[in-house]
Amino acid sequence: MMAKHLYNGISKIKSSEFWKIIFSIIGILIIILKPRSLFDIIRILLVSILGIFSMILSLTIWVFKILGWGYLCKLKIKNFYCWTRLAILIFPILGLLAMIIVFITVFLNNPSYIYQLNFDSNKELRLILFFTAIFFSVGYIFESVAIYDLSIVYKNKTLKYGSIMYLLAVIISPIISMNSTRNLYLSILGNMFQVVISLFIYNGLSNVQKTIIYDQQYPRYR
Amino acid sequence: MNTQIPYSTKSNDRSLFMIVALAIIAIIIVAIVSFIYPSTFIGFERINIESIGVIKIQGALADTQGFTILGSTTGVQQYINLIENAIKDPSIKAVLLYVNSPGGTVSASEKLFYEIEKLSYKKTVVAYVEGYGASGAYMIILPAKKIIASESSLVGSVGVYSVIINYKGLLDKLGIQVYTFKSGKLKDIGSPYRNMTDQDKKIYGEIIQEFFSIFKERVLKYRTIIDQEVFTGRPYTSKQAKRVGLIDEIGTYDDAINITKKLAGLPEDAPIRVLEPPKPSLLDLLFRLYIKPKIRIVPSHEILAMWPPPVVEP
């Protein structure tokens, strides 16, 4: 039973990393295909479809993560995995709520802001990004540290490097999210970096899965 | 093959939480820095190779972007922003101003002139005229180290003017009476609803002369003019402009690029970066386009440094 949960957990986290790769590639495509005017119908359509697809993907990734860490939590081998699941579950919701609350507050204070949605010059809107970036990141910090822990347990170097890069990427993510509206190259770079990280983690988790198959399972405690 | 690793759950959990706490502190610091100093990290997109920045100045120059009595106008603020970015960017060694503009309002042209003057103190500035480089558009490029124009460009038209349309006769014919209550007899000077008095005309003449003398001083400060006809306000072809001292060279865009590189001491293969205003985001496109063009109340006349004069298209 333990091995099954472990295998399923790793498998779900691995799936989330796979969809993350697709998500990042779509992110790059959206930036490249960004319409230049309202009359650029084909691009608007393409970007809208890709946008909806990426929204569905982000939900899928989120669900896979929750399921994956949920399985590892069920093993009762380490409390941290349960905290990771909780953080992944709660912080994105908090981030979304913060975004909605700040947006509504800003809009109620000055409805004309709806016409001035400029994230570069508008401090209130930058504040939305600030809170969102912080809240969204906390869950990912937990996840990166948990993956790092798995890499130590299974002595997997690829997973270790992937988790360290993941943690670094999360720490610098506010720079990207707060500058992404005017700095498209930075956004593309961020997405490309995300692809590399996910590849590392995906590969590392595959190796961990093999180890589980060969009955190594989760190393025992002293 | 059952590997056993010495492992203590509690102490390991504690150290993992420590890492998380440290990472959260780090991310808050990064987020605060990004929030307070948004420009700190812009340098990421810049290629740190010495290059030429090209700024394209096109269309009638006005203080605001939109549709005014000058027709469709370009707000000078977007050029000012680009120039300020070029000043701040250490990788831009020289700036080539690509100009195709008939000029515009005196105030807008002056704003841009000061900004380009500021730029010329910090970087090598060269101007290239293709099409029109007349009046206010000529004024703005005066601080450039060299002014180059394509063979069939029109340059010059140094001067200012104002057109006042008077509807008094038409209103009288239609039997419409306009009452104006004013604090002083000259408060509504230039009103299209009453005839101009001799005093009004004298005052207008003085304003135009004053603005013209400022323009003339700027031309004389930066150029060696060998024919006083320049100050009659006439436009010149590139050949004529070179002869009277309004421009330095006649050439192509590539010539202008090469001259700029040479003046800035840059190698022949130095990259060229066209500096453009930021593209509108999806949100801008969705929300802003609907409120444009903005309807604005414009003065019935403006002091113009523009040639050819604007016409209201039907």
pLDDT one-digit tens code per residue, A137-193: 888 999 999 999 989 888 889 999 999 999 998 888 777 666 655 566 777 888 888
Which of A78, A134, A178 has the CB atom closest to B9's CB atom? A78
CA dihedral A73, A76, A81, A84 (to 10 degrees): 60
Which of A80, A171, A186 has the CB atom closest to B27's CB atom? A171
Q: For every one of its 314 residues, what pLDDT tens digit does chain B have, with 9 covering 90 and above?
A: 444 444 445 557 778 888 888 888 888 887 777 766 655 544 444 445 688 999 999 988 888 665 555 555 567 888 998 999 899 888 889 999 999 999 988 999 999 999 999 999 999 999 999 999 999 999 999 999 999 999 999 999 999 988 888 888 999 999 999 898 989 889 989 888 888 999 999 999 999 999 999 999 999 999 998 889 999 999 999 999 999 999 999 999 999 999 999 999 988 888 888 888 765 555 555 555 444 444 444 455 667 777 777 665 44
Kindly state the tokens that stand for A23. Answer: 């998500």
Measuring CA to CA, how many Å separate B240 from each of A16, B154, B158, B219?
A: 70, 9, 14, 16
Taking an 8 Å cut-off on Cβ atoms, the answer to whether A171 and B30 are in contact is: yes
Please report the ipTM that was assigned to this predicted complex: 0.73
Cα-based angle A24, A30, A33 (whole degrees, multiple of 5): 140
pLDDT (mean) for A46-65:
91
A11 touches B at CB < 8 Å: no
Beta-carbon contacts of residue B286 (< 8 Å; ≥ 6 apart): A38
Beta-carbon contacts of residue A92 (< 8 Å; ≥ 6 apart): A62, A135, A136, A139
What is the nearest CA distance from B71 to chain A, expressed in angstroms?
Answer: 21
Q: pTM (2 decimals)? A: 0.54
Mean pLDDT taken over chain A: 81
- Top pLDDT among B127 and A134 is at B127
- Distance of alpha carbon A85 from alpha carbon A65, whole angstroms: 8
Q: pLDDT at position B122, please?
A: 94
Taking an 8 Å cut-off on Cβ atoms, the answer to whether A80 and B17 are in contact is: yes
Measuring CA to CA, how many Å separate A165 from each of A140, A162, A173?
A: 12, 5, 12
Taking an 8 Å cut-off on Cβ atoms, the answer to whether B9 and A178 are in contact is: no
Q: pLDDT at position B252, please?
A: 94
Taking an 8 Å cut-off on Cβ atoms, the answer to whether A219 and B26 are in contact is: no
A32 touches B at CB < 8 Å: no
Which of A134, A159, A136, A133 shows the shortest CA–CA distance to A148?
A: A159
Which of B20, B27, B284 has the CB atom closest to A174's CB atom? B27
Question: At A48, is the pLDDT very low, low, confident or very high (cuts 50, 70, 90)?
Answer: confident
Q: In chain B, what residues touch A216 (CB-CB under 8 Å)?
A: 1-3
Q: In chain A, what residues touch B20 (CB-CB under 8 Å)?
A: 141-142, 145
Q: pLDDT at position B147, please?
A: 96
Q: pLDDT at position B267, please?
A: 87
- Distance of alpha carbon A94 from alpha carbon A103, whole angstroms: 14
Question: Per-residue pLDDT for A70 more than 70?
Answer: yes
Owner of token pair 């399985």: A71
Taking an 8 Å cut-off on Cβ atoms, the answer to whether A149 and B12 are in contact is: yes
Q: In chain A, what residues touch B277 (CB-CB under 8 Å)?
A: none
Owner of token pair 């009359």: A39
